[in-house]
C-alpha cells in the first residue's frame, strides 16, 4: 500500500529533513520518497500544520495483563497506545504474577512480529516486587527484558538495590526505581501541605521522595552501574538529579501530567487526581518545567495506570492511585509546548527513552522503515465513552474537550489512522 503524507513538518534531529516541510511517501511500511513532489499513492493524508516525528516510546506503561486484565489487557493497551501516538511501550512488571521469568517476558513480547505497537518487557528486580529476593536478571535479559524495575513499587531494600546495580553491570543493564520512602508515605492520600491540611487528608511529604533519591545516588556512586529515576515530582528532587548528573551515569523521567496539575485540584475529592507520586504545588511544577528545559529531565512518560470502577469510584482514602494517560498524552504535550519548545519535548518521547534502554531510535529518511507519529497540535477532540479505547476511564480529562491529537502512526509495516482522516 502506498501512503502519501502531504506537507508535514518533520521534527527529527537525526534526519537530514529536520524542520523541513515535505511530502513523504510510504510504500509497504518503508519510506521511499521525501521531497516536494505529489507522489502517486493509494491514500493521501493532508498534513498541513502537523508534525511528523519518529514513533513515540513510553517508558513505563502499567498493563494489568496477566492477572489484572479487567483494568487493561495487552489488546486494549496497544490500541490505546497507538491512538495516543506510541509505536513502542515498555510495560511495568506489577502484574499477577510479576514479570520475573523467561515465560513471563515471552508472554508480553511473543506477538510483536504482528503488532503495530511493539511491547517491551521491564522485568522485576525482586520476586513478586516485594523487595526481598533478587530475580534471575541475567536470564531475563537474555529472554528479552529491556530494563529492570519493581515498577510502581520502590526498591526499598538497600542491599538488594546495591546488588542489583552490581549484577546489571555484567550486560550494561539499567536499574529503574520509583523513589519513595514507604514508611514516610504510609497511608498517604495526597501531597503534604496546606491543601492536605484543609481537606483533612494524610499527606505524602516531598521528603519521602527526596530521602530515597539521596540513598539511590549514594549507592550508585558506591557501586557503579546505570540508574534511571522514575516519576520525579518535587523541586528538590530535580535539584538533586541536576547536581548528581555532573558525576554519575544517571537519567530520570517525569509523567506528562505532573507539570500541568497541582494539589489544588483535589479540593473536590475527585479520585481521578489521586496519583503516586502525588500532585504537588506550583513551585514544584515550575521546577519540573525548568528541568525539562535545561536537560535535567531526560524522558517524559505517560504515567498510564488504569484502574477499574471498583478501585476509583469510592471514598477518596480507599481509592487506588493512578491516571490513564496514553490517549491524552498528545494533549499534555500541546499544553507543555507553551513553556517548553517542541524539539525538546519530542526528543524526550522519541530518542531519550530508547537511549535509556539501549534501543535503536528510528530515523526519518529515505529507504528506512517507517516508525512514525503524525501529530496535529491544533485538533480538538472529546474524551468520552465513545472515544476512550482503554478498558478503564480514570482520567481527570474524561468528558472534556482537549486540544492536540495524534492522527496517524506507522510501524512494523502496519498503520493506524484517526477516523477523521
Residue-wise DSSP of 155-205: ---HHHHHHHHHHHGGGT-EEEE----TTTTTT--EESSHHHHHHT--EE-
Rounded Cα distance between 334 and 112, Å, is 30
- Tell me what pLDDT residue 415 has: 98
Backbone angles phi, psi at 24, to 5 degrees: -125, 125
What angle (nearest 5°) sits at the alpha carbon of residue 323, between those of residues 98 and 311?
70
Give the integer Cα–Cα distance in Å for 306 and 323. Answer: 6
pLDDT computed for residue 419 by the predictor: 87
Closest CA to 26 of 51, 43, 49: 43
pLDDT score at 177: 98
Give the bridge partners for 375, in sequence order.
Answer: 51, 406
Q: Which of 152, 84, 179 is nearest to 395 (CA)?
A: 84
CA atoms within 13 A on the CB side of 121: 29
323 CB-contact burial (10 Å; exposed 0-12 / middle 13-18 / buried 19+)? buried
pLDDT in tens, the chain (421 residues): 999 999 999 999 999 999 999 999 999 999 999 999 999 999 999 999 999 999 999 999 999 999 999 999 999 999 999 999 999 999 999 999 999 999 999 999 999 999 999 999 999 999 999 999 999 999 999 999 999 999 999 999 999 999 999 999 999 999 999 999 999 999 999 999 999 999 999 999 999 999 999 999 999 999 999 999 999 999 999 999 999 999 999 999 999 999 999 999 999 999 999 999 999 999 999 999 999 999 999 999 999 999 999 999 999 999 999 999 999 999 999 999 999 999 999 999 999 999 999 999 999 999 999 999 999 999 999 999 999 999 999 999 999 999 999 999 999 999 999 988 8
Instruction: Please name which of 141, 356, 138 lies closest in space to residue 250, comparing C-alpha atoms.
Output: 356
Domains, the chain, ordered by start:
2-52+365-379+400-417 (2.30.40.10), 55-356 (3.20.20.140)
Query: Which residues share a beta bridge with 134?
Result: 126
Amino acid at each position: 500500500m502506498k501512503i502519501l503524507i502531504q506537507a508535514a513538518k518533520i521534527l527529527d534531529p537525526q534526519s537530514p529533513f529536520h524542520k523541513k516541510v515535505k511530502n513523504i511517501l510510504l510504500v509497504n511500511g518503508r519510506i521511499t520518497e521525501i521531497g516536494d513532489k505529489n507522489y502517486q499513492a493509494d491514500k493521501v493524508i493532508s498534513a498541513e500544520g502537523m508534525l511528523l516525528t519518529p514513533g513515540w516510546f513510553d517508558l513505563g506503561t502499567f498493563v494489568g495483563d496477566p492477572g489484572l486484565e479487567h483494568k487493561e489487557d495487552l489488546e486494549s493497551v496497544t490500541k490505546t497506545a497507538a491512538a495516543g501516538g506510541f509505536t513502542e511501550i515498555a510495560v511495568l512488571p506489577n502484574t499477577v504474577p510479576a514479570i520475573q521469568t523467561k515465560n513471563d517476558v515471552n508472554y508480553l513480547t511473543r506477538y510483536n512480529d504482528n503488532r503495530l505497537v511493539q511491547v517491551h518487557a521491564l522485568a522485576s528486580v525482586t520476586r513478586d516486587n516485594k523487595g526481598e529476593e533478587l530475580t534471575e536478571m541475567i536470564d531475563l535479559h537474555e529472554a528479552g527484558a529491556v530494563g529492570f524495575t519493581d515498577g510502581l513499587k520502590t526498591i526499598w531494600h538497600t542491599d538488594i538495590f546495591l546488588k542489583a546495580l552490581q549484577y546489571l553491570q555484567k550486560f550494561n543493564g539499567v536499574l529503574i526505581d520509583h523513589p519513595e520512602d514507604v514508611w514516610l508515605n504510609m497511608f498517604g492520600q495526597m501531597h503534604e501541605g496546606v491543601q492536605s491540611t484543609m481537606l483533612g487528608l494524610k499527606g505524602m511529604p516531598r521528603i519521602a521522595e527526596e530521602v530515597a533519591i539521596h540513598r539511590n545516588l549514594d549507592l550508585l556512586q558506591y557501586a557503579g552501574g546505570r540508574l534511571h529515576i522514575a516519576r520525579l515530582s518535587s523541586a528538590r528532587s530535580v535539584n538533586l538529579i541536576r547536581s548528581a548528573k555532573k558525576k554519575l551515569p544517571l537519567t530520570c523521567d517525569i509523567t506528562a501530567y505532573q507539570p500541568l496539575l497541582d494539589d489544588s485540584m483535589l479540593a473536590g475529592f475527585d479520585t481521578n487526581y489521586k496519583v503516586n507520586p502525588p500532585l504537588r504545588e506550583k513551585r514544584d511544577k515550575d521546577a519540573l518545567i525548568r528541568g525539562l528545559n535545561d536537560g535535567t529531565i531526560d524522558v517524559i512518560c505517560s504515567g498510564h495506570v488504569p484502574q477499574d470502577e471498583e478501585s476509583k469510584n469510592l471514598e477518596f482514602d480507599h481509592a487506588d492511585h493512578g491516571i490513564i494517560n496514553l490517549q491524552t498524552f498528545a494533549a499534555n504535550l500541546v499544553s507543555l509546548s507553551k513553556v517548553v519548545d517542541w524539539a525538546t519535548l519530542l526528543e524526550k518521547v522519541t530518542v531519550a527513552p530508547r537511549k535509556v534502554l539501549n534501543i535503536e531510535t528510528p530515523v526519518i529518511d529515505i529507504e528506512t522503515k517507517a516508525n512514525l507519529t503524525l501529530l496535529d497540535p491544533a485538533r480538538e477532540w472529546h474524551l468520552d465513552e465513545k472515544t476512550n479505547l482503554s478498558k478503564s476511564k480514570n482520567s481527570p480529562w474524561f468528558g472534556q474537550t482537549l486540544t492536540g491529537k495524534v492522527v496517524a502512526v506507522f510501524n512494523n509495516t502496519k498503520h493506524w489512522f484517526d477516523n477523521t482522516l
